[in-house]
A and B are shown apart, each in its own frame.
Chain A
């Protein structure tokens, strides 16, 4: 695969005053399909770029990773892609996250499963362009044609066998024009991509160096603990801070909320997470002083909107499923008719609770608002929108605002929302001092942006032993499945197919949670297919292979998945797991799913131990295109599977009169080591462009486990968390 690309406007190179050269590129623009430079490229301004390659006169290469790290390994894998095309040895590469210019550095693209997919070509072009310029400089020095030169590990060689290192020509290279065209490597020549590379921050992590937002500190900084309404639907009425103010470690007690409310009123359509209520903020000399001071506040809250409970949510969602207020999202053929003519119609309801993200590092942010500038530092995935809201809220120019991203102790979607950034900014603005807002676990869990509780009703018709229709209905809190999902499997496989959605607007804040919607939809759909196969009396694998064959014969342009790739992962998982010939006492359940551009099949092995089903092993087959970093990919895939099992099996979250029922890990269960099976991961070999891995292994596993438990116990599980709806105590808490 040889690719030539025209010169792209997202690249700019420049000589450094200290010697060496720097290439800046704007991944944010480069990733968009129509690249229109919105910036003046006549000068290299750090503000306009979000990623850099720096080559020093000694030939040392520093790659400024464009994406912050939330645990998906992008801080390692993205530089690997640049280094590959740049032709340098990985050991000579130094990767840093820190922005070059903390004052102006605001334009950064934040992670997600899609980072690699979108950045793939842009990152390669950047590396290749830098290499080409260095080669051109060497060729000019020798007076030979650049095409006669070869490069390996940062050393350029000509036909006479003379060599020049990158450092020897870097000054000249920086003065050259950016080449019009560069050629990308053939994937079979990759030396770095496809080889397992360790996490670039591993040394610092294992000795406890400050890396995370919560570790960030500045001289004179105060710590802020925020008292927010205990229930969704309440606002602050009054409070008494006299006890808190008398504490020696408490510096001040203030309220915030006015500024956030002003924007809410001015821009009612903004979908940012801003609360209507005032909040009480305790400022302490240390975190503990602030937390302790907050506990001493006596606050009175009043009801502002309905205080909702889980029973109420269950009722409204069931009413929606049984009602007729649906939006039809895709309709093929006529399901109604197929159902009327069927020999049998099977219908099941699947239910899931709200879920908090519970990133291991609780929400926190640093803000320093002065008359000159607004400096924001911490773990956030969306620095650009955060800066925008803060600029509106504080009435400041966007240029005065800088956001610096730290390593993040987990994201799972929570750090896409900037509520904690706005709070920190509003506090610092009000007290005129640098401040660090820190949430306790209780704050974090009870004032979250939750995965919305969702229910599905799935019905299918069978006629003459064949599947003739499929009707999926979704009832969810606040929002519904995104637009691509109705085109996922089984769309295209059945003549009569319909997807309907309905929602209920709640005052509980909800948002994206690792693999939004599919994180539960996959469990529902793939459990349903297990029942269908049983009802049809066909092997589960056969049923899927046949349906996918139909899609292949009748390709339908709108479908999102590839039937070939789904069949590929299914075959691989079946082969690696000994599907159908598992040893005595092992019960297997299967699930196969496409989401986030990646195809995955998973098979869970369950054994009965003391009358309790225990997941012993999960075999996972993945097609995510080219594997950039197999080591990181393996970690991601395994983590996704175990996270999926944990939340499908154990984690429950509900409300009582607007108040979350659990607030810390003593009442909310996350999966622990003793509950984890071995995860075995197999990748499809591929030379297709890479797709994401942060999310796709999570959704299918719930059904793989439920289907295996069915075989072991004869009980179909339709309501998550399964352990609470199985009538067995299946968890071991440490």
Chain B
């Protein structure tokens, strides 16, 4: 099997995997960063969201062979101490129910707020629309993104 060099959370990793292995499974099974979650595998749910060069991306749709030159950030690397404004807001609002989708929600929200630090409610609702929460914690997610945006501005 070929090897690939990846830059994840500012660290270098060399992994041996089939070239078509989704980044999601490389993160979860090879590198043991399991915060990034599997939900659908087809780019529909957002559970697997990571940042690639600062953009929110679906790691289930990126093949490891495409990921070599990317600057990858996962939920584990979003902040040093779990205190990114979005993480803080998530704790303040007590967003999670089962919690499974929340890493993906946080990664989507943090990339979005980076580009649009003071969004309108409508902008929040459309930015977060690609992330499914089966527990339907949507009201709290919306509120937490708002709170995070206030912290950022």
B132 touches A665 (CB 8 A): yes
Alpha-carbon distance between A641 and B139 when the two chains are bound, in angstroms = 11
Q: Choose among B37, B76, B94, B142 the residue with the greatest number of A CB atoms under 10 Å from its CB.
A: B94
Partner of A665, one of B35, B40, B76, B128: B40
A187: interface (CB < 8 Å): no
B29 touches A672 (CB 8 A): no
Chain A nearest CB from B51 CB (Å) reads: 13
B106: interface (CB < 8 Å): yes
Contact with B along A402-414 (1 / 0, CB 8 A): 0000011111100
Within 8 A of A (CB), among B106-137: 106, 125-126, 128-137
Contact with B along A260-298 (1 / 0, CB 8 A): 000000000000000000000000001111001000000
Q: Choose among B30, B41, B78, B140 the residue with the greatest number of A CB atoms under 10 Å from its CB.
A: B41
Partner of A440, one of B41, B47, B99: B41
B139 touches A676 (CB 8 A): yes
Contact with B along A387-417 (1 / 0, CB 8 A): 0000000000000000000011111100000
B101 touches A734 (CB 8 A): no
Q: Give every chain A residue within 8 A of B34 (Cβ-Cβ).
A: 208, 210, 214-215, 217
B3: interface (CB < 8 Å): no
A635 touches B140 (CB 8 A): yes
Partner of A249, one of B18, B78, B100: B18
Alpha-carbon distance between A518 and B34 when the two chains are bound, in angstroms = 37
- Looking at the complex, which of A68-76, A164-172, A537-545, A716-724 is the stretch in contact with chain B? A68-76
B18 touches A665 (CB 8 A): no
B91: interface (CB < 8 Å): yes
Alpha-carbon distance between A361 and B36 when the two chains are bound, in angstroms = 12
A732 touches B87 (CB 8 A): no
Partner of A205, one of B39, B78, B96: B96
- A208 with B36, Cβ < 8 A, contacts A202-B90, A248-B1, A674-B126 known: yes
A330: interface (CB < 8 Å): no
A639 touches B33 (CB 8 A): no
Q: Choose among B33, B35, B102, B136 the residue with the greatest number of A CB atoms under 10 Å from its CB.
A: B136
Alpha-carbon distance between A53 and B131 when the two chains are bound, in angstroms = 38
B25 touches A407 (CB 8 A): no
Alpha-carbon distance between A364 and B1 when the two chains are bound, in angstroms = 27
Alpha-carbon distance between A73 and B32 when the two chains are bound, in angstroms = 27
B44: interface (CB < 8 Å): yes
A208 touches B136 (CB 8 A): no
A206 touches B29 (CB 8 A): no
A223 to chain B: closest residue by CB = B29
Q: Choose among B35, B96, B135 the residue with the greatest number of A CB atoms under 10 Å from its CB.
A: B135
B130 touches A207 (CB 8 A): no
B66: interface (CB < 8 Å): no
Q: Give every chain B residue within 8 A of A248 (Cβ-Cβ).
A: 1, 18
B88 to chain A: closest residue by CB = A206
A635 touches B42 (CB 8 A): no
B101 touches A288 (CB 8 A): no
Q: How many A-B pairs fall under 8 Å by CB?
A: 190
Partner of B41, one of A358, A441, A678: A441
A549: interface (CB < 8 Å): no
A358 to chain B: closest residue by CB = B134
B contacts with A: majority SS: loop
A contacts with B: majority SS: loop
A207 touches B75 (CB 8 A): yes
B101 to chain A: closest residue by CB = A360
B134 touches A287 (CB 8 A): no
B136 to chain A: closest residue by CB = A642
B5: interface (CB < 8 Å): no
B45 touches A635 (CB 8 A): no
Q: Give every chain A residue within 8 A of B96 (Cβ-Cβ).
A: 199, 201-202, 205-206
Chain A nearest CB from B25 CB (Å) reads: 4
- A410 with B25, Cβ < 8 A, contacts A202-B91, A639-B137, A673-B129 known: no
A203: interface (CB < 8 Å): yes
Contact with A along B38-70 (1 / 0, CB 8 A): 111110110100000000000000000000000
Q: Choose among A646, A673, A732 the residue with the greatest number of B CB atoms under 10 Å from its CB.
A: A673
Alpha-carbon distance between A546 and B137 when the two chains are bound, in angstroms = 36
Q: Give every chain A residue within 8 A of B74 (Cβ-Cβ).
A: 208
A698 to chain B: closest residue by CB = B136
Alpha-carbon distance between A358 and B25 when the two chains are bound, in angstroms = 21
B84 to chain A: closest residue by CB = A206
A671: interface (CB < 8 Å): yes
Chain A nearest CB from B122 CB (Å) reads: 9
- A360 with B39, Cβ < 8 A, contacts A288-B21, A409-B98, A642-B139 known: yes
Additional A-B contacts beyond A207-B75, A212-B37, A409-B37 (17; CB < 8 A): A71-B97, A196-B94, A198-B91, A199-B96, A205-B99, A206-B96, A207-B78, A208-B36, A208-B75, A210-B35, A214-B38, A358-B134, A361-B100, A407-B99, A409-B98, A639-B135, A643-B134
B residues adjacent to A (C-beta < 8 A):
1, 17-18, 20-22, 25, 28-30, 32-42, 44-45, 47, 74-76, 78, 82, 87, 90-91, 94, 96-103, 106, 125-126, 128-142
A residues adjacent to B (C-beta < 8 A):
69-73, 196, 198-199, 201-203, 205-212, 214-215, 217, 223, 248-249, 286-289, 292, 358-362, 407-412, 440-441, 631-632, 635-636, 638-643, 646, 664-666, 670-674, 676, 678-679, 732, 734
17 contacts between A and B (CB under 8 A): A198-B94, A201-B99, A202-B90, A206-B75, A207-B82, A212-B100, A215-B34, A223-B29, A288-B25, A360-B101, A635-B97, A638-B137, A670-B132, A673-B131, A676-B138, A676-B142, A734-B130
